[in-house]
Amino acid sequence: MLTNLDETLRHQIATTFDHVGSSDHRFFDRYWFGVYDPRGRMALVCGMGQYVNMNVLDGFCALQVPGPQGGVVQHNFRLSRALRPQLDETRIGPLAVAIERPFERIRLACAAGELPMSFDLEWQAFLPPSEEKHHFNRVNGRPFQDYHRYTQAGRASGRVCLGDTVFEVDDWWAGRDHSWGVRSQVGGYEPVNGPGTEALLSAAGYVFYWLTFNTGDCGGYVQLQFLGDGTRIFTDGEIVWPATGRRFVVADAEVEVELHPGTRIYKRLRTRLRGYDGSQVELLAEPVLGYWSMDGTGYDWGWNDDKGLGYYRGEYVVEQDVYDISHPERVVRPNGEVRTPGHREAPCAITVDGKLNPRSAGHQVFVASGPVPWLGLGN
């Protein structure tokens, strides 16, 4: 089947763009966006992913807002459709992503009417994208992950509506990433061919750190991965000051974590970075509003069927619910059930070298699983 991309001179294999070179059902190609008010009145995340071998295009949008009785609530909207025959359309019902100028300007929209929320946002680049190091490993001979990602700092303007409440978005923080390849927890199930990497990492302990931010003066991304004993096994990232042209490439890192008492969720995260040129940068991340419960967006085997992202659910399906995320670790579902999902991410205020710009914000991930003695965490 021919698609619009087949009109370009960018073919990678000797066939059309309607399928990919891998038959792995977990092959994905996904956008993620965050738009946050630095003053903490509202935070939005949305995303869209194509799963060619599962014949699925799915997406999500979620809002964090202060609750009517205090605390924080998370409004979740998950959408999925059959990918074919509309392979060229990055639209699922009311949700749409339009790349108007690659790496510079993007339109994010959710049309009013079908859902109790809508938005129309213009995403503008603050910095060029940063390419992450390639992610690849095998489990018992099978590629467990084999994917690429770039991350980009930006700003956003427009309007977001939730019921009768209107949020005017005026040059708010915005970040995004785009990743593609093969990852776990995609397509409804994980192939089993012996003990898996997730089980091994959980037994050994594992910490995943990922940050994208901009302050109005500088911005960038940092990714770190640790074993439970504190051994760092992955280091990547860069920070750029566009006005001066300074580019700081992360060579080494030291992380100081303050956890909410009795939890695995960070309250304050101080990161001391050393660049390849010997210079240093210190970042301080302090959450604003609440911690995203990522299962509400479909990650971590989310959706009501517990099949997660990329699972075929038919021609068109929409789910929506509201979580109480007032507590940093416990999440109250609509039926009153309380869960403690490990995958929590947060909109944050970001202080750089002791300076907190009023425009500063970012998205900080810090997930600790299994025994992590260097944080005082057991199983």
Each residue of 265-276: pLDDT tens digit? Answer: 999 999 999 999
Instruction: Please indicate, yes or no, if residue 355 is contained in any of the structural domains.
Output: yes
Report whether 201 contacts 50 (CB < 8 A). no
Report whether 97 contacts 61 (CB < 8 A). no
| pLDDT reported for residue 193 | 84
Structural domain containing residue 228: 25-375
Ramachandran region, residue 56 (left: φ > 0; alpha: ψ -120 to 50; beta: rest): beta
**Peptide bond connecting 143 to the previous residue in cis, omega within 30 degrees of 0:** no
Instruction: Please indicate, yes or no, if residue 14 is contained in any of the structural domains.
Output: no
Max CA distance (Å), the chain: 59
200 pLDDT tier (thresholds 50, 70, 90): low
CB within 8 A of 211, min separation 6: which ones? 221, 222, 223, 237, 271, 283, 285, 350, 362, 363, 364, 365
Q: How far apart are CA 335 and CA 259, in angstroms?
A: 28
Among 208, 44, 47, 188, CA closest to 132? 208
CA atoms within 13 Å, Cβ hemisphere of 295: 19
Q: How far apart are CA 92 and CA 197, in angstroms?
A: 33
Report whether 345 contacts 275 (CB < 8 A). no
Q: How far apart are CA 89 and CA 98, in angstroms?
A: 9
User: In the chain, where does DSSP find H-type helix?
Assistant: 197-204
pTM for the whole structure: 0.95
Instruction: Please indicate, yes or no, if residue 255 is contained in any of the structural domains.
Output: yes
Mean pLDDT for the chain overall? 95
Distance of CA 284 to the CA centre of its chain: 20
With H, G, I as helix, E, B as strand and everything else as coil, classify residue 206: strand
Q: Phi, psi (5° rounding) for residue 265?
A: -100, 130
Instruction: Please indicate, yes or no, if residue 20 is contained in any of the structural domains.
Output: no
| pLDDT reported for residue 201 | 66
Please give the average per-residue pLDDT across 371-377, as a whole number.
92
Q: Report DSSP letters for 255-300, one per residue.
A: EEEEEPTTSSSEEEEEEEEEETTS-EEEEEEEE-S--EEGGGGTTT
Single-letter code of the amino acid located at 81: R
Among 83, 81, 89, CA closest to 53? 83
Strand partners, 101: 105
Please give the average per-residue pLDDT across 10-17, as a whole number.
91
| pLDDT reported for residue 70 | 86
Instruction: Please indicate, yes or no, if residue 267 is contained in any of the structural domains.
Output: yes
Evaluated on CA atoms 303, 306, 310, 315, the torsion sign reads: negative
Length of the chain: 379
CB within 8 A of 69, min separation 6: which ones? none
The CATH number that applies at residue 330 is 2.40.370.10
Q: What percent of the chain has pLDDT over 90?
A: 88
Question: Residues 355-364: pLDDT tens digits?
Answer: 998 889 999 9
Instruction: Please indicate, yes or no, if residue 6 is contained in any of the structural domains.
Output: no
Whether the predicted pLDDT of 77 surpasses 90? yes
Terminal-residue alpha carbon distance, the chain:
50
Instruction: Please indicate, yes or no, if residue 192 is contained in any of the structural domains.
Output: yes
Question: Residues 93-141: pLDDT tens digits?
Answer: 999 999 999 999 999 999 999 999 999 999 999 999 999 999 998 988 8
Q: Phi, psi (5° rounding) for residue 298?
A: 110, -15
Q: How far apart are CA 107 and CA 91, in angstroms?
A: 12
Q: How far apart are CA 379 and CA 373, in angstroms?
A: 10
Instruction: Please indicate, yes or no, if residue 10 is contained in any of the structural domains.
Output: no
Q: How far apart are CA 210 and CA 364, in angstroms?
A: 6
Domain count, the chain: 1
Please give the average per-residue pLDDT across 275-304, as a whole number.
96
* Cβ atoms < 10 Å from Cβ of 235: 17
Ramachandran region, residue 158 (left: φ > 0; alpha: ψ -120 to 50; beta: rest): left
Six-digit token pair at 346?
A: 């947060």
